[in-house]
Amino acid sequence: MDLGLSGKTVLVTGATRGIGREVARAYATEGARVALTYHTDRSAAEAIADELGAARDQAFAVPYSLDDPAAAAQATAAVVQRWGALDILVANAVRRPPRRDAGVRFEDVDDEQWLPVVHDNLGGTIRLTRLAVAEMRCRTWGRIVLLSSHNALGGGSGQEFLGAAKAALHGFARSLAWDVGKDGILVNVVCPGLTTTADVLSRLPAPVRERETAGTPTGRLSAPEDVARTVLFLGSAANGNTTGETVTVSGGR
C-alpha cells in the first residue's frame, strides 16, 4: 500500500523513546521528513534524527515542553521554516503524574500535583493542535493523531488525573473533526493498551505483565511498533476518510 508520505513533513512530540521513537522511525521509513521533539534529552533526540537522515535534511530535533506556549509556537515554526509546511502532527508527549505514596487517597492529592497533569496533557496538546491546524488549513490537507492512554478507557490505580486528561482528548478529536474535515484535515486518537516500552519493562514487575498478557486475546502485550503502525496509517494519505475516531491498540483487551 502506498501511504503517500514521501516528502510529507511530520512533527512527532515526545520522540526520544518508546512509542514516539517508533512512530518517528515508521514515518521516516515511508519517506517522510520528521521533526522530533524532546523535553530534556537533546542528545537522544539528535541521535535518532541522525539515524533517520539528518545529514540529508530528512530529520531534525527540536525542543518542546507541553507546559510552554512559546515552545509549541517555536516547534511549529521550526518545521514550517525549514521545510515549508507542516503536514502531519503526532501529539505523543505526555506529562505523567508523580507517584503516589502508599496510603495517599485521591482526595488527599494537592492541587499543585494534579492540576498540571490535567492542564499540560490536555491544554498543551490542544494548544499545539491549534497551531498545526492553522498551517494545515492553508494547504487544505493535514493529518493529526493524538496519543491517549489505556488509563482513559480501563482506568488504573492512581491514574485519575492522567485518565481524565487523556479521555478528554477523545471528545476533543470527535468535535474537532467537524471543524476541520471540510478543509481536508483528519484527526484521530490512538489509545495504546499496556505497551512493552522500556519504561514499562523496567518498572512493572514480571508477574503483573504476565497477568496482563494472560487477559489479552492475542496472548501478548503490544510492542511500541504495533502502536506506531496504527499511527502511521491514520496520519497518512492512505487514510482517506477516517476521522473523529479513537482506535485502541491493545491486543483485543
pLDDT (0 to 100) of residue 195:
87
* % pLDDT > 90, the chain: 77
State mean pLDDT over 46-59.
Answer: 98
61 three-state secondary structure: strand
How far is Cα 233 from Cα 5, in angstroms, rounded to an integer?
Answer: 10
* % pLDDT > 70, the chain: 100
238 three-state secondary structure: coil
Amino acid at 48: I
Exposure string (b/e) for 118-143, b if CB count within 10 Å is 16 or more? Answer: bebbbbbbbbbbebbbebbbeeebbb
pLDDT (0 to 100) of residue 157:
77
State mean pLDDT over 174-200.
Answer: 94
How far is Cα 221 from Cα 242, in angstroms, rounded to an integer?
Answer: 25
Question: For residue range 65-102, what is the model confidence (pLDDT) as tens digits?
Answer: 999 999 999 999 999 999 999 999 999 999 987 777 77
How far is Cα 53 from Cα 77, in angstroms, rounded to an integer?
Answer: 20
State mean pLDDT over 128-142.
Answer: 97
pLDDT (0 to 100) of residue 100:
76
pLDDT (0 to 100) of residue 142:
98
pLDDT (0 to 100) of residue 174:
98
How far is Cα 107 from Cα 88, in angstroms, rounded to an integer?
Answer: 39
pLDDT of residue 16 exceeding 90, the answer is yes
pLDDT (0 to 100) of residue 219:
93
212 falls in which pLDDT band (50, 70, 90)?
confident
pLDDT of residue 108 exceeding 80, the answer is yes
End-to-end CA distance of the chain: 28
pLDDT (0 to 100) of residue 82:
98
Identify whether the C-beta of residue 191 lies closer than 8 Å to the C-beta of residue 248. Answer: yes
pLDDT (0 to 100) of residue 153:
80
pLDDT (0 to 100) of residue 155:
78
Question: For residue range 201-210, what is the model confidence (pLDDT) as tens digits?
Answer: 888 888 888 8
Count CB-CB contacts under 10 A for residue 206.
8
C-alpha cell at 18: 518508546
DSSP code, position 195: B
Contacts (Cβ under 8 Å, ≥6 apart) of 100: 109, 158
Give which of 128, 147, 161 is closest to 62, Cα–Cα: 128
How far is Cα 233 from Cα 250, in angstroms, rounded to an integer?
Answer: 17
pLDDT of residue 160 exceeding 80, the answer is yes
Identify whether the C-beta of residue 80 lies closer than 8 Å to the C-beta of residue 48. Answer: no
> CA of 51: how far to CAs of 33, 60, 61, 237, 248, in Å?
12, 10, 12, 24, 29
